[in-house]
Amino acid sequence: MLYTSTRDNSIRVSAAQAIAQGISEEGGLFVPCELPAFSIEKIKEMAGMSYIDRAKTVLREFLTDFTEDELDYCVSGAYRADKFSSPAIAPTVNVCGNKNILELWHGPTCAFKDMALQLLPYLMTVSAKKTAEGKTIVILVATSGDTGKAALEGFKDVDKTKILVFYPVDGVSPMQKLQMTTQEGGNVAVCAINGNFDDAQSAVKSIFTNTEIKHTLAEKNMMFSSANSINWGRLVPQIVYYFSTYCDMVNMGNITAGEEINIVVPTGNFGNILAGYYAKKMGVPIKKLICASNSNNVLTDFLKTGTYDRNRDFYTTTSPSMDILISSNLERLLYHISGEDAQLVSSLMASLSDEGKYSVSADIIGKIQSVFDAGFASEADVMNTIKTHFDKYNYLCDTHTAVAVKVYDDYVSATGDDIPTVIDSTASPYKFSKSVLTAVLGGKTPELDEFDMVDELNKTTGAEVPTPLASLKSKRVRFNNVCNKEDMSKMVFSLLKLD
Protein backbone atom coordinates (compact mmCIF):
# COMPACT_ATOMS: atom_id res chain seq x y z
CA MET A 1 0.00 0.00 0.00
CA LEU A 2 1.42 3.35 -1.05
CA TYR A 3 0.40 6.88 -0.15
CA THR A 4 0.24 10.04 -2.20
CA SER A 5 -0.41 13.72 -1.47
CA THR A 6 -3.69 15.61 -1.87
CA ARG A 7 -1.77 18.45 -3.59
CA ASP A 8 0.63 16.43 -5.76
CA ASN A 9 -0.46 12.96 -6.76
CA SER A 10 2.78 12.05 -8.45
CA ILE A 11 4.20 11.53 -4.93
CA ARG A 12 4.52 7.95 -3.65
CA VAL A 13 5.59 7.14 -0.07
CA SER A 14 5.30 4.11 2.22
CA ALA A 15 3.07 4.13 5.30
CA ALA A 16 6.16 4.48 7.51
CA GLN A 17 7.31 7.52 5.57
CA ALA A 18 3.87 9.14 5.63
CA ILE A 19 3.61 8.63 9.40
CA ALA A 20 7.16 9.74 10.29
CA GLN A 21 6.91 12.83 8.07
CA GLY A 22 3.37 13.83 9.09
CA ILE A 23 2.67 16.22 6.21
CA SER A 24 3.80 16.21 2.59
CA GLU A 25 6.53 18.65 1.60
CA GLU A 26 4.36 20.89 -0.57
CA GLY A 27 1.78 21.19 2.22
CA GLY A 28 -0.63 18.46 1.10
CA LEU A 29 -1.92 15.62 3.25
CA PHE A 30 -1.01 11.98 2.74
CA VAL A 31 -3.80 9.69 1.53
CA PRO A 32 -3.82 6.01 0.52
CA CYS A 33 -3.54 5.47 -3.26
CA GLU A 34 -6.32 2.89 -3.06
CA LEU A 35 -8.61 1.51 -0.34
CA PRO A 36 -8.72 -2.15 0.72
CA ALA A 37 -12.16 -3.79 0.34
CA PHE A 38 -13.80 -5.88 3.08
CA SER A 39 -16.62 -8.28 2.18
CA ILE A 40 -19.56 -8.66 4.55
CA GLU A 41 -18.32 -12.21 5.26
CA LYS A 42 -15.01 -10.83 6.44
CA ILE A 43 -16.76 -8.24 8.62
CA LYS A 44 -18.94 -11.03 10.08
CA GLU A 45 -15.76 -12.91 10.95
CA MET A 46 -14.43 -9.82 12.73
CA ALA A 47 -17.54 -9.83 14.95
CA GLY A 48 -16.05 -12.82 16.76
CA MET A 49 -12.76 -11.03 17.46
CA SER A 50 -11.43 -8.86 20.31
CA TYR A 51 -10.82 -5.14 19.67
CA ILE A 52 -7.10 -5.81 19.31
CA ASP A 53 -7.68 -8.44 16.62
CA ARG A 54 -10.22 -6.27 14.81
CA ALA A 55 -7.61 -3.48 14.83
CA LYS A 56 -4.91 -5.75 13.43
CA THR A 57 -7.25 -6.99 10.71
CA VAL A 58 -7.89 -3.43 9.48
CA LEU A 59 -4.41 -1.99 10.03
CA ARG A 60 -2.64 -4.89 8.32
CA GLU A 61 -4.15 -3.68 5.02
CA PHE A 62 -2.80 -0.13 5.44
CA LEU A 63 0.60 -0.78 7.04
CA THR A 64 1.92 -3.25 4.51
CA ASP A 65 5.52 -2.22 5.23
CA PHE A 66 5.16 -3.28 8.90
CA THR A 67 6.00 -6.89 9.80
CA GLU A 68 3.38 -9.00 11.61
CA ASP A 69 5.52 -8.75 14.77
CA GLU A 70 5.72 -4.97 14.51
CA LEU A 71 1.96 -4.75 14.01
CA ASP A 72 1.34 -6.96 17.01
CA TYR A 73 3.78 -4.95 19.16
CA CYS A 74 2.07 -1.66 18.22
CA VAL A 75 -1.57 -2.71 18.56
CA SER A 76 -1.22 -4.88 21.66
CA GLY A 77 0.79 -2.14 23.40
CA ALA A 78 -1.71 0.59 22.54
CA TYR A 79 -4.93 -1.13 23.59
CA ARG A 80 -3.64 -2.84 26.74
CA ALA A 81 -6.52 -3.71 29.06
CA ASP A 82 -5.04 -1.73 31.98
CA LYS A 83 -5.09 1.53 29.98
CA PHE A 84 -8.82 1.43 29.16
CA SER A 85 -11.71 1.46 31.61
CA SER A 86 -13.81 -0.88 29.43
CA PRO A 87 -12.77 -4.38 28.34
CA ALA A 88 -14.46 -3.67 24.99
CA ILE A 89 -12.07 -0.65 24.57
CA ALA A 90 -14.78 1.22 22.64
CA PRO A 91 -18.18 -0.15 23.75
CA THR A 92 -21.44 0.47 21.89
CA VAL A 93 -24.36 1.18 24.24
CA ASN A 94 -28.05 1.11 23.33
CA VAL A 95 -29.84 4.24 24.56
CA CYS A 96 -33.34 3.47 23.29
CA GLY A 97 -34.81 1.94 20.14
CA ASN A 98 -32.49 2.47 17.20
CA LYS A 99 -30.37 5.07 19.00
CA ASN A 100 -26.95 3.75 20.08
CA ILE A 101 -23.87 5.47 21.45
CA LEU A 102 -20.29 4.49 20.69
CA GLU A 103 -18.25 5.42 23.77
CA LEU A 104 -14.79 6.42 22.58
CA TRP A 105 -13.56 7.91 25.88
CA HIS A 106 -12.51 4.95 28.00
CA GLY A 107 -8.78 5.63 27.46
CA PRO A 108 -6.31 7.26 29.85
CA THR A 109 -7.26 10.91 29.06
CA CYS A 110 -11.04 10.35 28.85
CA ALA A 111 -11.51 11.66 25.27
CA PHE A 112 -11.71 9.88 21.92
CA LYS A 113 -8.25 11.15 20.94
CA ASP A 114 -6.81 8.27 22.99
CA MET A 115 -8.14 5.80 20.41
CA ALA A 116 -5.53 7.12 17.97
CA LEU A 117 -2.93 8.67 20.25
CA GLN A 118 -2.31 5.56 22.30
CA LEU A 119 -1.31 3.86 19.03
CA LEU A 120 0.45 6.72 17.20
CA PRO A 121 3.68 6.73 19.32
CA TYR A 122 4.15 3.04 18.53
CA LEU A 123 3.50 3.59 14.82
CA MET A 124 5.78 6.62 14.86
CA THR A 125 8.77 4.97 16.54
CA VAL A 126 8.55 1.88 14.31
CA SER A 127 8.21 4.17 11.26
CA ALA A 128 11.16 6.33 12.34
CA LYS A 129 13.36 3.25 12.70
CA LYS A 130 12.51 2.31 9.12
CA THR A 131 12.88 5.74 7.54
CA ALA A 132 14.43 8.41 9.78
CA GLU A 133 17.89 6.99 10.55
CA GLY A 134 17.87 7.35 14.30
CA LYS A 135 16.68 10.96 14.36
CA THR A 136 14.83 12.27 17.41
CA ILE A 137 11.28 13.09 16.41
CA VAL A 138 9.90 16.37 17.72
CA ILE A 139 6.12 16.26 17.87
CA LEU A 140 4.52 19.70 17.60
CA VAL A 141 0.88 19.83 18.59
CA ALA A 142 -1.75 22.53 18.30
CA THR A 143 -4.70 21.53 20.44
CA SER A 144 -8.26 22.66 21.03
CA GLY A 145 -8.03 20.76 24.32
CA ASP A 146 -8.12 16.99 24.03
CA THR A 147 -5.41 16.21 21.47
CA GLY A 148 -2.78 17.92 23.62
CA LYS A 149 -3.32 15.78 26.68
CA ALA A 150 -3.82 12.57 24.71
CA ALA A 151 -0.61 13.17 22.73
CA LEU A 152 1.36 14.05 25.89
CA GLU A 153 0.16 10.88 27.59
CA GLY A 154 0.92 8.76 24.51
CA PHE A 155 4.42 10.16 23.91
CA LYS A 156 5.62 10.75 27.49
CA ASP A 157 9.06 9.18 28.01
CA VAL A 158 8.92 7.44 24.61
CA ASP A 159 12.57 7.04 23.54
CA LYS A 160 13.80 9.29 20.69
CA THR A 161 10.77 11.59 20.85
CA LYS A 162 10.04 15.03 22.29
CA ILE A 163 6.63 16.61 22.40
CA LEU A 164 5.60 20.29 22.54
CA VAL A 165 1.96 21.26 22.94
CA PHE A 166 0.36 24.67 22.30
CA TYR A 167 -3.20 25.43 23.46
CA PRO A 168 -5.37 28.57 23.26
CA VAL A 169 -5.10 30.29 26.65
CA ASP A 170 -8.85 30.90 27.05
CA GLY A 171 -10.07 28.10 24.79
CA VAL A 172 -9.96 24.97 26.96
CA SER A 173 -11.94 23.75 29.98
CA PRO A 174 -10.33 23.97 33.46
CA MET A 175 -10.04 20.17 33.56
CA GLN A 176 -8.42 20.06 30.11
CA LYS A 177 -5.95 22.75 31.19
CA LEU A 178 -5.03 20.94 34.41
CA GLN A 179 -4.57 17.69 32.53
CA MET A 180 -1.95 19.34 30.33
CA THR A 181 -0.17 21.62 32.81
CA THR A 182 0.40 18.77 35.30
CA GLN A 183 1.76 16.38 32.64
CA GLU A 184 4.63 14.21 33.82
CA GLY A 185 7.51 12.97 31.66
CA GLY A 186 11.04 14.05 30.80
CA ASN A 187 10.43 14.77 27.10
CA VAL A 188 7.30 16.97 27.33
CA ALA A 189 6.54 20.71 27.33
CA VAL A 190 3.29 22.69 27.28
CA CYS A 191 2.66 26.35 26.42
CA ALA A 192 -0.50 28.48 26.24
CA ILE A 193 -0.85 30.96 23.36
CA ASN A 194 -2.72 34.23 23.19
CA GLY A 195 -5.01 33.25 20.33
CA ASN A 196 -7.54 30.60 19.33
CA PHE A 197 -7.06 27.05 18.01
CA ASP A 198 -6.92 28.13 14.36
CA ASP A 199 -4.07 30.55 15.23
CA ALA A 200 -2.19 27.74 16.98
CA GLN A 201 -2.78 25.30 14.12
CA SER A 202 -1.69 27.79 11.44
CA ALA A 203 1.47 28.69 13.38
CA VAL A 204 2.37 25.03 13.85
CA LYS A 205 1.85 24.36 10.13
CA SER A 206 4.12 27.27 9.22
CA ILE A 207 6.83 26.15 11.65
CA PHE A 208 6.68 22.71 10.01
CA THR A 209 7.26 24.08 6.54
CA ASN A 210 9.92 26.67 7.55
CA THR A 211 13.14 25.46 5.92
CA GLU A 212 15.45 27.45 8.19
CA ILE A 213 13.99 25.84 11.32
CA LYS A 214 14.08 22.44 9.62
CA HIS A 215 17.82 22.84 8.93
CA THR A 216 18.58 23.86 12.51
CA LEU A 217 16.81 20.74 13.73
CA ALA A 218 18.52 18.51 11.18
CA GLU A 219 21.92 19.70 12.46
CA LYS A 220 20.92 18.42 15.90
CA ASN A 221 19.72 15.13 14.39
CA MET A 222 16.08 16.02 15.03
CA MET A 223 13.01 16.22 12.77
CA PHE A 224 9.48 17.51 13.24
CA SER A 225 6.40 15.41 12.98
CA SER A 226 2.74 15.93 13.76
CA ALA A 227 0.32 14.23 16.13
CA ASN A 228 -2.62 16.25 14.78
CA SER A 229 -5.12 14.53 12.53
CA ILE A 230 -3.25 15.84 9.49
CA ASN A 231 -0.99 12.81 10.21
CA TRP A 232 -2.20 9.62 8.52
CA GLY A 233 -1.10 7.72 11.62
CA ARG A 234 -3.81 9.57 13.56
CA LEU A 235 -6.56 8.72 11.10
CA VAL A 236 -5.94 5.07 10.40
CA PRO A 237 -6.58 3.88 14.01
CA GLN A 238 -9.93 5.68 13.87
CA ILE A 239 -11.15 3.60 10.93
CA VAL A 240 -10.98 0.54 13.20
CA TYR A 241 -13.76 1.56 15.58
CA TYR A 242 -16.27 1.97 12.77
CA PHE A 243 -15.70 -1.69 11.88
CA SER A 244 -15.81 -2.55 15.55
CA THR A 245 -19.09 -0.77 16.33
CA TYR A 246 -20.69 -2.41 13.29
CA CYS A 247 -19.58 -5.82 14.61
CA ASP A 248 -20.96 -4.96 18.05
CA MET A 249 -24.27 -3.82 16.54
CA VAL A 250 -24.52 -7.26 14.89
CA ASN A 251 -23.51 -9.04 18.12
CA MET A 252 -26.07 -7.06 20.14
CA GLY A 253 -28.81 -8.12 17.71
CA ASN A 254 -29.50 -4.48 16.75
CA ILE A 255 -28.94 -5.30 13.07
CA THR A 256 -28.30 -8.33 10.89
CA ALA A 257 -24.98 -8.44 9.02
CA GLY A 258 -25.29 -6.45 5.81
CA GLU A 259 -27.98 -4.08 7.11
CA GLU A 260 -27.18 -0.35 6.81
CA ILE A 261 -26.62 1.99 9.76
CA ASN A 262 -26.25 5.75 10.08
CA ILE A 263 -23.30 7.32 11.91
CA VAL A 264 -23.38 10.69 13.69
CA VAL A 265 -20.12 12.47 14.54
CA PRO A 266 -19.51 15.62 16.63
CA THR A 267 -17.02 17.28 14.31
CA GLY A 268 -14.19 19.79 14.49
CA ASN A 269 -11.18 19.08 12.30
CA PHE A 270 -13.17 16.51 10.24
CA GLY A 271 -10.80 13.66 11.20
CA ASN A 272 -13.20 11.39 13.04
CA ILE A 273 -15.99 11.61 10.44
CA LEU A 274 -13.48 11.14 7.60
CA ALA A 275 -12.40 7.85 9.22
CA GLY A 276 -16.09 6.87 9.01
CA TYR A 277 -16.07 7.73 5.31
CA TYR A 278 -13.06 5.47 4.75
CA ALA A 279 -14.82 2.65 6.66
CA LYS A 280 -17.87 3.09 4.41
CA LYS A 281 -15.72 3.03 1.27
CA MET A 282 -14.02 -0.15 2.54
CA GLY A 283 -17.33 -1.99 2.92
CA VAL A 284 -18.93 -1.20 6.29
CA PRO A 285 -22.65 -0.82 5.45
CA ILE A 286 -23.04 2.85 6.36
CA LYS A 287 -25.86 4.83 4.75
CA LYS A 288 -25.29 8.41 5.93
CA LEU A 289 -22.52 10.12 7.83
CA ILE A 290 -24.11 12.96 9.77
CA CYS A 291 -21.75 15.83 10.57
CA ALA A 292 -22.67 17.64 13.80
CA SER A 293 -21.25 21.09 14.57
CA ASN A 294 -21.64 23.58 17.41
CA SER A 295 -22.18 27.33 16.80
CA ASN A 296 -18.94 27.35 14.77
CA ASN A 297 -21.00 25.83 11.98
CA VAL A 298 -18.75 26.40 8.99
CA LEU A 299 -19.08 22.71 8.03
CA THR A 300 -22.88 22.73 8.20
CA ASP A 301 -22.93 25.61 5.71
CA PHE A 302 -20.39 23.92 3.45
CA LEU A 303 -22.22 20.60 3.39
CA LYS A 304 -25.54 22.37 2.68
CA THR A 305 -24.29 24.83 0.03
CA GLY A 306 -20.87 23.86 -1.35
CA THR A 307 -19.29 27.11 -0.15
CA TYR A 308 -16.71 26.97 2.64
CA ASP A 309 -16.32 30.38 4.26
CA ARG A 310 -14.32 30.89 7.41
CA ASN A 311 -14.86 34.67 7.37
CA ARG A 312 -17.28 34.69 10.27
CA ASP A 313 -17.34 35.23 14.03
CA PHE A 314 -15.48 32.66 16.08
CA TYR A 315 -17.40 31.46 19.17
CA THR A 316 -15.91 30.04 22.35
CA THR A 317 -18.46 27.36 23.27
CA THR A 318 -19.03 24.70 25.92
CA SER A 319 -17.76 22.12 23.38
CA PRO A 320 -14.26 23.63 22.93
CA SER A 321 -12.77 20.68 21.03
CA MET A 322 -15.07 21.62 18.16
CA ASP A 323 -14.31 25.36 18.17
CA ILE A 324 -12.61 25.25 14.80
CA LEU A 325 -13.14 27.18 11.56
CA ILE A 326 -10.48 25.49 9.44
CA SER A 327 -11.27 21.78 9.25
CA SER A 328 -8.05 20.35 7.87
CA ASN A 329 -9.25 16.89 6.92
CA LEU A 330 -11.93 18.17 4.57
CA GLU A 331 -9.01 18.45 2.14
CA ARG A 332 -8.74 14.66 2.06
CA LEU A 333 -12.46 14.25 1.33
CA LEU A 334 -12.28 16.81 -1.50
CA TYR A 335 -9.37 14.88 -3.00
CA HIS A 336 -11.24 11.56 -3.03
CA ILE A 337 -14.64 12.95 -4.08
CA SER A 338 -13.16 14.97 -6.95
CA GLY A 339 -11.65 11.81 -8.44
CA GLU A 340 -8.14 12.50 -7.06
CA ASP A 341 -7.89 15.95 -8.60
CA ALA A 342 -4.78 17.30 -6.81
CA GLN A 343 -4.77 20.43 -8.94
CA LEU A 344 -8.29 21.32 -7.91
CA VAL A 345 -7.51 20.64 -4.24
CA SER A 346 -4.38 22.83 -4.41
CA SER A 347 -6.33 25.72 -5.87
CA LEU A 348 -9.19 25.38 -3.32
CA MET A 349 -6.68 25.32 -0.45
CA ALA A 350 -4.84 28.34 -1.88
CA SER A 351 -8.09 30.26 -2.00
CA LEU A 352 -8.90 29.18 1.58
CA SER A 353 -5.56 30.50 2.71
CA ASP A 354 -5.73 33.75 0.66
CA GLU A 355 -9.40 34.67 0.94
CA GLY A 356 -10.63 32.39 3.70
CA LYS A 357 -13.15 30.73 1.42
CA TYR A 358 -13.80 28.54 -1.60
CA SER A 359 -16.72 27.01 -3.50
CA VAL A 360 -16.94 23.60 -5.15
CA SER A 361 -18.96 22.66 -8.25
CA ALA A 362 -22.56 21.43 -8.10
CA ASP A 363 -21.33 18.01 -9.16
CA ILE A 364 -18.88 17.75 -6.25
CA ILE A 365 -21.24 19.01 -3.57
CA GLY A 366 -23.93 16.69 -4.96
CA LYS A 367 -21.62 13.70 -4.55
CA ILE A 368 -20.73 14.79 -1.02
CA GLN A 369 -24.41 15.22 -0.11
CA SER A 370 -25.22 11.71 -1.28
CA VAL A 371 -23.06 10.47 1.64
CA PHE A 372 -23.06 13.29 4.21
CA ASP A 373 -25.79 15.14 6.04
CA ALA A 374 -25.16 18.01 8.44
CA GLY A 375 -26.59 20.12 11.22
CA PHE A 376 -25.57 22.20 14.21
CA ALA A 377 -26.59 22.74 17.81
CA SER A 378 -26.74 26.06 19.69
CA GLU A 379 -25.47 26.42 23.25
CA ALA A 380 -29.06 26.25 24.56
CA ASP A 381 -29.66 23.07 22.52
CA VAL A 382 -26.62 21.46 24.15
CA MET A 383 -27.84 22.27 27.66
CA ASN A 384 -31.38 20.99 26.94
CA THR A 385 -30.10 17.81 25.31
CA ILE A 386 -27.85 16.89 28.26
CA LYS A 387 -30.77 17.38 30.64
CA THR A 388 -33.46 15.57 28.67
CA HIS A 389 -31.19 12.64 27.89
CA PHE A 390 -30.28 12.25 31.50
CA ASP A 391 -33.86 12.63 32.76
CA LYS A 392 -35.38 10.34 30.11
CA TYR A 393 -32.77 7.60 29.62
CA ASN A 394 -30.45 8.02 32.62
CA TYR A 395 -27.63 8.53 30.09
CA LEU A 396 -25.16 11.35 30.83
CA CYS A 397 -23.58 12.97 27.74
CA ASP A 398 -20.69 15.41 27.64
CA THR A 399 -21.17 18.69 25.75
CA HIS A 400 -19.64 17.40 22.45
CA THR A 401 -21.73 14.26 22.44
CA ALA A 402 -24.82 16.36 23.17
CA VAL A 403 -24.17 18.35 19.97
CA ALA A 404 -24.31 15.08 18.02
CA VAL A 405 -27.40 13.80 19.82
CA LYS A 406 -29.30 17.04 19.09
CA VAL A 407 -28.28 17.07 15.44
CA TYR A 408 -29.34 13.43 15.14
CA ASP A 409 -32.77 14.13 16.66
CA ASP A 410 -33.22 17.01 14.18
CA TYR A 411 -32.14 14.75 11.31
CA VAL A 412 -34.74 12.12 12.20
CA SER A 413 -37.48 14.76 12.52
CA ALA A 414 -36.56 16.29 9.16
CA THR A 415 -36.06 13.09 7.14
CA GLY A 416 -37.95 10.31 8.95
CA ASP A 417 -34.80 8.22 8.43
CA ASP A 418 -34.67 6.36 11.75
CA ILE A 419 -32.68 3.24 10.79
CA PRO A 420 -30.31 1.82 13.45
CA THR A 421 -27.82 4.57 14.22
CA VAL A 422 -24.56 4.95 16.10
CA ILE A 423 -23.72 8.34 17.65
CA ASP A 424 -20.07 8.89 18.55
CA SER A 425 -19.53 9.92 22.16
CA THR A 426 -16.19 11.69 22.20
CA ALA A 427 -15.52 12.68 25.82
CA SER A 428 -16.32 11.79 29.41
CA PRO A 429 -18.86 14.24 30.93
CA TYR A 430 -16.36 14.82 33.76
CA LYS A 431 -13.99 16.67 31.44
CA PHE A 432 -16.66 19.38 31.26
CA SER A 433 -18.19 19.06 34.72
CA LYS A 434 -19.28 22.68 35.10
CA SER A 435 -21.29 22.75 31.87
CA VAL A 436 -22.73 19.28 32.36
CA LEU A 437 -23.72 19.90 36.00
CA THR A 438 -25.27 23.25 35.07
CA ALA A 439 -27.31 21.50 32.38
CA VAL A 440 -28.46 18.70 34.67
CA LEU A 441 -29.50 21.25 37.34
CA GLY A 442 -31.62 23.07 34.75
CA GLY A 443 -29.34 26.09 34.28
CA LYS A 444 -28.08 26.85 37.79
CA THR A 445 -24.27 26.85 38.14
CA PRO A 446 -23.19 26.08 41.70
CA GLU A 447 -20.32 28.16 43.16
CA LEU A 448 -17.76 25.37 43.42
CA ASP A 449 -14.16 24.78 42.37
CA GLU A 450 -13.41 22.26 39.61
CA PHE A 451 -12.99 19.18 41.80
CA ASP A 452 -16.00 19.95 43.99
CA MET A 453 -17.91 20.32 40.72
CA VAL A 454 -16.82 16.78 39.83
CA ASP A 455 -17.99 15.45 43.21
CA GLU A 456 -21.29 17.28 42.91
CA LEU A 457 -21.90 15.91 39.40
CA ASN A 458 -21.16 12.44 40.70
CA LYS A 459 -23.58 12.90 43.63
CA THR A 460 -26.31 14.30 41.37
CA THR A 461 -26.08 11.72 38.58
CA GLY A 462 -24.39 8.64 39.98
CA ALA A 463 -22.18 8.45 36.86
CA GLU A 464 -18.76 7.04 37.69
CA VAL A 465 -15.79 9.48 37.87
CA PRO A 466 -12.88 8.26 35.69
CA THR A 467 -9.81 7.55 37.84
CA PRO A 468 -7.36 9.58 35.70
CA LEU A 469 -9.45 12.74 36.26
CA ALA A 470 -9.99 12.17 39.99
CA SER A 471 -6.24 11.71 40.53
CA LEU A 472 -5.36 15.10 38.97
CA LYS A 473 -6.33 16.78 42.23
CA SER A 474 -3.06 15.83 43.90
CA LYS A 475 -0.79 16.68 40.92
CA ARG A 476 1.60 19.65 40.76
CA VAL A 477 1.34 22.24 37.92
CA ARG A 478 4.60 22.01 35.94
CA PHE A 479 3.96 24.35 33.00
CA ASN A 480 2.64 27.91 33.04
CA ASN A 481 4.28 29.48 29.95
CA VAL A 482 2.17 31.81 27.81
CA CYS A 483 3.33 33.30 24.49
CA ASN A 484 1.99 35.31 21.55
CA LYS A 485 1.36 33.42 18.32
CA GLU A 486 4.14 35.40 16.58
CA ASP A 487 6.59 34.05 19.17
CA MET A 488 5.75 30.37 18.84
CA SER A 489 8.82 29.46 16.81
CA LYS A 490 11.04 31.21 19.37
CA MET A 491 9.28 29.24 22.07
CA VAL A 492 9.93 25.99 20.16
CA PHE A 493 13.66 26.76 20.12
CA SER A 494 13.67 27.66 23.78
CA LEU A 495 11.74 24.55 24.82
CA LEU A 496 14.12 22.38 22.77
CA LYS A 497 17.02 24.29 24.33
CA LEU A 498 18.34 25.22 20.88
CA ASP A 499 18.37 29.01 21.45
Ligand X SMILES: *Cc1c(COP(=O)(O)O)cnc(C)c1O
Residues that bind ligand X (CB under 6 A): 111-113, 146, 229, 266-272, 321-322, 400, 426-427
Report the alpha-carbon distance of residue 360 to residue 81 in Å, rounded. 45
Nearest distance from residue 429's CB to ligand X, in Å?
11
Report the alpha-carbon distance of residue 40 to residue 106 in Å, rounded. 28
Nearest distance from residue 449's CB to ligand X, in Å?
23
Q: What is the DSSP string of 388-453?
A: HHHHHH-----HHHHHHHHHHHHHHHHH---SSEEEEE-B-GGGGHHHHHHHHTTSPPP---HHHH
**Which is closer to ligand X, CB of 222 or CB of 404?**
404
Nearest distance from residue 321's CB to ligand X, in Å?
3
**Which is closer to ligand X, CB of 17 or CB of 269?**
269
Per annotation, catalytic residue among 113, 149, 205, 406:
113
**Which is closer to ligand X, CB of 32 or CB of 320?**
320
Residue 480: which residues within 8 A CB-CB, separation 6 or more? 181, 192
Report the alpha-carbon distance of residue 180 to residue 432 in Å, rounded. 15
**Which is closer to ligand X, CB of 175 or CB of 223?**
175
Nearest to 461 by CA among 402, 405, 390, 401: 390
**Which is closer to ligand X, CB of 62 or CB of 66?**
62
Report the alpha-carbon distance of residue 485 to residue 194 in Å, rounded. 6
Burial class (CB in 10 A: 0-12, 13-18, 19+), 444: exposed
Using left for φ > 0, alpha for ψ between -120 and 50, and beta otherwise, residue 462 falls in left
Nearest to 165 by CA among 138, 142, 134, 137: 142
Report the alpha-carbon distance of residue 422 to residue 425 in Å, rounded. 9
Nearest distance from residue 281's CB to ligand X, in Å?
17
Nearest distance from residue 91's CB to ligand X, in Å?
17
Contact assessment for residue 257 and residue 250, using Cβ atoms and an 8 Å cutoff: yes
Residue 113 is among the residues annotated as catalytic for this protein: yes
Distance between alpha carbon 108 and the CA centroid of its chain, in Å?
15
Nearest distance from residue 404's CB to ligand X, in Å?
9
Report the alpha-carbon distance of residue 342 to residue 345 in Å, rounded. 5
**Which is closer to ligand X, CB of 51 or CB of 112?**
112
* Catalytic residue positions, numbered: 113
